[in-house]
Every structure is written in C-alpha cells, then in structure tokens.
Amino acid sequence: MNVPRLLTVVTAAMVWLVHLAGNPVVAGDTLGLQEQLHDANRHYVEGSYDEAVAAYTRLIGQYGLSPELLHNLGNSYAGDKRYGSAVLHYLRGLRIDPGNDALEADLAKIREEIGLFDEPLPLHKRVVTLYDMNQWLTGALVSYALLTLVLALRLRFTGSKAVVPLSLLLTAIICVCGVAAYRQHHNWNGAVIVKPDTHLLLSPFASASSTGKLLQGTVVYNEKKHDGYNYVHDTRGRSGWIPAPSLAPINTSSLTYSRGSAER
Amino acid sequence: MTFFVLLAMLLLGISPNAPAQDNLSISANLSTDRLSVDDAARLLITVHGAGSAGIAIPEVENLLFHRRGQHAKMQNTNGKVSSAITSTYIIEPLEPGNYTIPPITAEVDGTTLQTKPLRLEVLSRDEISTNGSNQEQPATSPTGLGTNEICFITIDGLPQKAYRGQILPITIKIYFRRGVRAELDTLPEIVGDGFVLSPLSEDPRQTRETRNGKDYSVISWDSSITPIKEGENTLQIGIDATLLLPGRRNIDPFFNDDFFNGFFGRIEKKRISRKSKPHNVAIDHLPQQGRPADFSGAIGSFDFQVAATPQTVEVGEPVTLTMEISGKGNFDRVSAPAFPTGQDWKSYSPTSHFQSKGSSYQGSKIFEQAIVAKNSSLNSIPALSFSYFDPERREYVSAASRPLPLQIKAAAKPQRPGSAAPGQSTPLSLQDSSKEQDTSATKATPSAPPAKLHLTATDFTRKIVPVYRRSWFITFFLVCTATLGIVLAIALRRRFIATHRPFFSRKQLRKDMNTGFARLQQAMENNEEESFLRVCREIIQHRLASAWNMEPSTITLHDLQRRLPEDSPLIQIFSTIERNAYCGADKTQMDTREMNDISTMLQTSLEDIP
C-alpha cells in the first residue's frame, strides 16, 4: 500500500473513532429532562431528600447514567444521611467521569464525615491509583496509536533518528499503562457497604459470630456467594460473610434504576 | 463363604453331607427381644450337622430381614466329623409393636428343620426416652448389634459449672462402627434451649478410635457453646443420619454368599436419630459486685494493647487509633473501649475485625478508630480501658493502656473551599451561573449536604462498563493493530528485498527488458523510427548499467567501445542510434524490416551480456 495513503486512512479512522468515543448515548428529549431535573433539584433544595432520591432515580432510569445525575443523587443520599449510598453514587459518577473534581471533593468530604480515612499507601500504589482502569487503558491505547503512527512515518522518512527512541518511549508508556490497568482491574469490580451496622460474619448464617464491623461506605470486593450472603474482603485485608442486601456493586446499568433499585 | 467351605471339604475328601442325618438340628437366637424402632436386632440361625442348608426366612409385616453373611464350622473329633452352618440376619423394625417371627425352616438334603417362633418387642422413641434406654454408650450385649452400638455421640471438654455468656470450648464426636456405611443428614444440633452452639464446620475431622475393644470411625468438631439460661441446664447433642445397610436378595442359592453379596447386594437406607448422653451444667450469673462501668459482657482471658499512627499531626488531621484485644473468650461481646470525647477530641465510629487463631473464641479483635485533635496544646492520647470477667479468677479485670505521646501542630493550611465542617450548615440557594450552584439552607440541617448541585446533565451512558468492552475502544485497537501489521509487513518486505538484492535486481531487469521490447515492438508496428531508436538506446543502457553497476543515463558509445569487443553488434546499433539522434544530416531512413533486424540483433546481443 502507498505509504501516504495508508497514513491518511489511519488518521481518518482515528479521528472518526475519537469522534465516536466523544458521543456517548443520549436518550430522551432534552426538554423533558430539564423539567424533571428542575423538579428533582427543587426537592433537594427544599430538603425533601427522599423525594429527590426518587426523582433522580427515575431520571437515571429514563435517560441513563450521567455523572451530574449521579452526583446529585449522591448529594440527596448524603442529605438523607444514607452515607453508604452517597459514597456509592459518587463512585459511580467517578467511573463515568474519572477525575471529576466536584465528585472527588464531595466523596472525600462524605468519607471524612463517616470516619473513612485512607491508609497511607506505598509509592507504587499511589502511582497506580492516580488513575482508574479506564484511564490507564485509554493512555495505553493512545500510546499504541502513536507508536503505530511513528512506525508508519518511518516508512516514509527512513533517515529519521528520532524514531527509535520515540518508539522505545511509547512502548515503555504502553507497558506502564498496561501494568497499572491490570492492577486497577481488581478495584474495578468493587462494591460499597450501603447499610449501617454491617457485621462481618464467620459463616453465611444469621446466627454466625461476628468477626468485625464495616462502616457504611466501605469499598469491599466479592469473593463468593452463598444463600443470600456474600464473602467479601476490604482493602485492609478484613474478610467475612455479609448479607447480600448490605452491599451494592459500583458498576451498574440504568436498568437497575428504572426497576427502582438504585442501591443494587 | 459356603463356596470356599465346600471347596475345602472336597479337597479334604469329605462329603458336605457326611455327618449323620440324625445329628441335624436348627436353632435361632435374637440379640435382643426388646428394642427401639430406631435400633436393629441381630438374628443368628445355626444348622448343626450340615455343611449347607437352604434357609427360608418368613415374611413378617413391618420387619425387614437383611442378610449379613454365613459362616460354616467343621470339627473332626476322633475321626468323627461334625459341622455347623450359621447365617446372620439384621432385623430392622419399621413400626413399634409386638412381633412374632414364625418358625424359620431350613432344608438339608430333603429334611426340613424348623426353629421355634421368636418374639420381638419394638418400642417407639417416646417409650425408649421414658424408659431411659437411649444410651450414649454402645450396647453391652455380647451378641447385640443395636444401632446404639453402630452409632453414638459424645461431648468432651464440658465443665460442670459456667457463667451465662461464657464461651465453653467442646469437642463433639460421632462414632460409627467400622465397616458401617452411613451418611450424616444433619450437622450436630443442641437439643434443648439452655445453650447456643457455634456454627460447625462442614468439613469435620475424621479419625479412627477403639472403644471397648471395638473399632469406630469418628467424626469430630472442635466447637464452643454459650450458656444462655441461668440454673441447672442439661446439654444434649443430636444428629440425624442414614445407615446404608445391605439389602436382602432372592437369587440363586449358589450366590448366597458374602463373597457375592458385596457385588450383587442392594443397599437399603435406614434413617436414625441419635442423642448424646445428657450433661448437666450449672450456669451462674455474673456477679454484680465489682462490675466496672465499661463492662460490655466480655468473659474470658484477654490482653489489651493500644497504638496510634501518625504520632505527629496538625490540628484537624485524623489519627488512627488501633486497639487490639487478644486472648480467649466471647469475642462477639468484646466491644471497642470508649474514647473520651469532649472539647479536645472528636472521634468517629470504630471499625473492627477479628483475627481467629483456629476458632471463634481464640484470637485477636482489632478496633480501628479515627480521632481528631481539636486543640494544639494536647500532647498525648488519653489512656483507654477495657474490662472483662475472668471465669478462672471469678472476678472482673480492667486492663488500661498508658497515655500515648502525640505531637500536635497548629493547622498550617486552610480548609478546602466548599467543604463544610460536620455539624455546620451550608448556605442553600438556587442560582444558575455556571451549570453548578451553591445550595443555601432553607432549613438548617445537623450535618449539611454537599454544596454542589448540577442543573444540567450530559454524558449519558446506559451501563458502567470497562473501556475495553466499548466498541470504539475495540475498533480503535483493531485499526491500530491492523495498521501496525501492514507497516511491519511493508518494512519486512523492504528488508527482504534489500537482503536479496541480486535476485530482485535480475527479476526487475527481466521485467524492464520485457517492457522495453514490448515498447520496441509497438514502435516497429507504428513505423516510428525515432521512437524505435530511443527505446533501443534505453534498453541497451539499462541492460549494460545493470551489468556494469552504473547509472543507465551515464552510459555512452565511448563506454561501449571501451568495454565491449570491437565486433559487438551493440556498438554498431548504439552508434547508429547516436548518429540518428545527433547527426540529423546523415539520418538513415529505416523500414520495418531493418527495424526488425535491429530488434533481433539487439535481443541476441543482450542475451550474451553476463
């Protein structure tokens, strides 16, 4: 294939894909959305947090997940002192819009409110947790695209000395992003404790002895399930059985909201 | 077995029916004439004076007969051989009642022998309990094989006195006679309401033990019980199990042998319920005298340690207080020592986790609590205390930590804008300035909700999925991979060509020559002399350039004259071309035949070039 033509095709494809990526699903009519959002916000401002929660939940069920709606819903839960659900929705918002300053600030504030403080992490873990899995993977993909572009340009400009160091640099970035994304993949499937007084149990029975208590808003990771109980562990290494209704997965779909089960 | 006895007798030259007919007799014995509906009795039928016998067991309603085997005995006394054959049956009652087993007959060489009728009384479970005949220990009858002997339960490690709420470690053992196949239908459970049993593992320990000279397979659990009622309480552990007994067969007498029984016998299931022997435990209440105010119900023997990190903080920064309570006892009643809050400290709810040392009553319970200093003048974390009741010493014990040194600096940085301190209300109003608004309180709330509220919503998505599952990511990745593949293929091809240049040069030359001669042919057909000569020149230059490793355009007549033999037709052709090209006056007019001759000559001459 002609090299300039190849470069043109690749660039066009990338531009199209970037355009595609920047246009996620938009559902429903904007006017209806605005009116309903205004109503939901009014409930919030009036301090009717239960009604605000119901209104935002309906909106998400109807139009889809949006960082703004999830943020408002999290605020409503926080106003209603359902801190676990507030943390859950802030985290869901951050999944869609990683690095959102407002969401991060409110999440930090609510965690402080309920006494959830982050453990000091070693340097490599701090680096890995700078971005979430999606961000690391996007970084790896962009580096991969650039590497492809550099190697394609090398066909045209054979004498360039910058190609080798640039290729090595991009390869290193791909490796770093890949490793970090792999490490963050574990955190991707987390769940949040949404019920107060959740005890870790020795076995999956109501009569089982408690081995500890988890604050609502704590992020835990599922290991197995048994008859209405989930075996979980948290970032501090605590593990045990907890009743399934006590936790809600961070990853969700708008379908769960349309069924009226926002905390599931 | 009979089969082998017959074989042995044949080898010894003894007829199976050698004993005199007048010595024939039959007897039947029951291991017990009174048993529970959950038990089984053993029936032994012995035919004296015969090496084999056809025994017919009568049918009795609600009694099942399970054949367990047959053995033969031979005696040679002063040359007189006597023999006896004994068949063993297990009788399984299905219903309580009084039963009479009709005479059992045995056929020996046409002679029919008959036993006396046997009586059997089967009691219900209630009758057994009333009579107190449900024992923990196996039946002691020398011939008996009741299910009490097949299966029984023991409880080890139980004290005679304890306190309400105290954890009592016990070992529950279920004994099954070796060789008996059984399935546990339930895990051991407490019978009665004075105790609570800790959840048992579904994977108990399995060992073998010998008791009263008999071998048992033992299933055991190390667990604990907690007394919940004061006074004299009786503890019993019960289980339900299913015994897998070999069933009765009605097939050819030749196979009526233990050896074949194992292969062809069907399995019959018998459900049984078992209880351990009752144990009496006196349960006392904890003394009121000397009970500390912070006592939360912990009973056992504990150690208490406290640590704090970091030890240097600014005012408002959290310190993590780690309180570890280790030892033996009822950890579910161990709660976090209360942190003294007030003007100087703010404390948050503690979290806890239990690190077991093999059981739920032994290990460490660790509490982590965030505390925040409000005052920079503080220099230590106050002492904490934990109280428990020690059942060995029969007294309350209060373990106290020492104050932990802490360096507190005045806050250096201002609080983050927009973060309201807990308990402080935030202004609330509706403004639409920048898609977000500060909310102001129309009513005061004890703990203000976060301040930002979005008035528009964008970036809708139906599902939170990892980016690698999104179509744009996959397509982008595939496009890049495909492009990279193409780029690598092109680069490799280039390298290959560079490595195999002579081969590709020859190939290219052949291709160029073919193209050149095609153009030559075209020029001839069109009778275009000028074009013909130009193409001839190009062909010669191209071919010779390849052979002499020169640029085609630099090759002149002089080069040809210098490097080719004098009589080379190429020199003549090239000279003609030069003349026609540069000496317009002497230009020769060529016809098609001449052009054809030149073309043929050119082709022949070029083939000779190495």
Q: What is the CATH number of the domain that holds A219?
A: 2.30.30.40
Is residue A257 assigned to a domain?
Answer: no
Does A202 lie in the same domain as A156? no
Order across the sheet with B34-36: list the strands. B34-36, B118-123, B97-101
Residue with tokens 């033990």: B209
Q: Does residue B198 contact residue A209 with C-beta atoms inside 8 Å? A: yes
**Pair (A97, A144) in one structural domain:** no
Distance from CA of B336 to the nearest CA of A (A): 11
Q: Answer yes or no: do A223 and A134 share one domain.
A: no
Coil vs helix vs strand at B345: strand
Backbone angles phi, psi at B55, to 5 degrees: -95, 130
Task: Decide if A57 is inside a domain.
Answer: yes
Q: How many whole angstroms separate alpha carbon B70 and alpha carbon B88?
A: 6
Put simply, the answer to whether B449 touches A49 (Cβ < 8 Å) is yes
Region of residue A81 (phi > 0: left; psi between -120 and 50: alpha; otherwise: beta): left
- Closest chain A CA to residue B441: A45
Low-confidence stretches of chain B (pLDDT < 50) are 1-7, 10-21, 129, 132-145, 248-264, 413-447, 450, 585
Q: Specify if A130 maps to a domain.
A: yes
ipTM given for this complex: 0.79
CA dist A235 and B234 (Å) reads 45
Are A141 and A204 in a shared domain?
no
Q: Are B457 and A63 inside 8 Å of each other by CB? A: yes
Specify whether the CB–CB gap between B196 and B225 falls below 8 A. yes
Q: Which residues of A touch B368 (CB under 8 A)?
A: 236
| A109 and A18 inside one domain | yes
Q: Would residue A107 count as lying in a domain?
A: yes
Q: Which amino acid is at A246?
A: S
d(CA A215, CA B353): 11
Q: Do A250 and B484 touch (CB under 8 A)?
A: no
pLDDT of residue B569: 83
Q: Which conformational region is residue B69 in: left (phi greater than 0), alpha (psi within -120 to 50 degrees), or beta? A: left
- Residues A112, A57, single domain; the answer is yes
> Is A227 domain-assigned?
yes
Check CB contact of A53 with chain B, cutoff 8 Å: no
**What pLDDT score was predicted for residue A130?**
86
Q: How confident is the model at residue A73 (pLDDT cuts 50, 70, 90)?
A: very high
Q: Closest Cα to residue B153, out of B226, B221, B248, B61? A: B221
Q: What Cα–Cα distance (Å) separates residue B374 from each residue in A14, B344, B413, B434?
A: 55, 5, 15, 36
Q: What is the pLDDT of residue B251?
A: 43
How deeply is B235 buried, as exposed, middle or buried, from its count of CB atoms within 10 A (0-12, 13-18, 19+)?
buried
Same domain, A194 and A183: no
Output the CA–CA distances (angstroms, integers) from residue B459 to A16, A24, A56, B539, in the order listed: 18, 6, 15, 67
Q: Dump pLDDT digits (tens) for A86-133.
A: 999 999 999 988 888 889 889 988 888 787 877 777 888 888 888 888
pLDDT at position B246 is 65
pLDDT band at A226 (very low <50, low <70, confident <90, very high): confident
Q: Is residue A39 in some structural domain?
A: yes
Nearest CA in chain B to A258: B462
Q: How much helix, strand and coil, in percent to the nearest 5, is found in chain A?
A: 60, 15, 25
Instruction: Provide, as residue numbers in chain B, all residues whose Cβ is less than 8 Å from the Cβ of A214.
Output: 351
Decide if pLDDT at A71 tops 90. yes
Q: Is B365 in Cβ contact with A212 (below 8 Å)?
A: yes
User: End of a domain among A75, A90, A117?
Assistant: A117
Would A254 be classed as within a structural domain? no
Q: Report the domain count for chain A.
A: 3
**Cβ-defined contact of B460 to A113 (cutoff 8 Å):** no
Interface of A with B in 222-261 (CB under 8 A): 236, 238, 240, 250-255
Burial code of B208-221, b = ≥16 C-beta within 10 A, e = fewer?
eeeeeeeebbbbbb
* pLDDT at position B435: 41
Interface size, chain A vs chain B, as Cβ–Cβ contacts under 8 Å: 216
**Binary contact (A148, B455; C-beta < 8 A):** no
A258 within domain boundaries = no
Residue at a domain's end among A66, A98, A117: A117
Give the closest of A6, A24, A72 to B459, CB-based: A24
The amino acid occupying position B442 is T
Could you list the residue range(s) of the whole structural domain that residue A140 is in? 123-188
CA pair distance A121, A1, nearest whole angstrom: 51
CB contact under 8 A, B480 and A145: yes
The secondary structure of residue B358, as a DSSP letter, is E
CA distances from B300 to A78, A211, B172, B331, B595 (A): 41, 17, 21, 9, 120
pLDDT of residue B304: 92
Q: Answer whether A205 sits within 8 Å of B467, measured CB to CB.
A: no
What is the pLDDT at residue B412? 55
At residue A11, the pLDDT reads: 67
Q: What is the mean pLDDT of chain A?
A: 84
- pLDDT of A180 above 90: yes
**A16 and A68 in a common domain:** yes
| List of chain B residues whose C-beta atoms are within 8 Å of the C-beta of residue A215 | 349, 351
**Would an 8 Å CB–CB cutoff place A169 in contact with chain B?**
no
Domain boundary among A170, A188, A206: A188
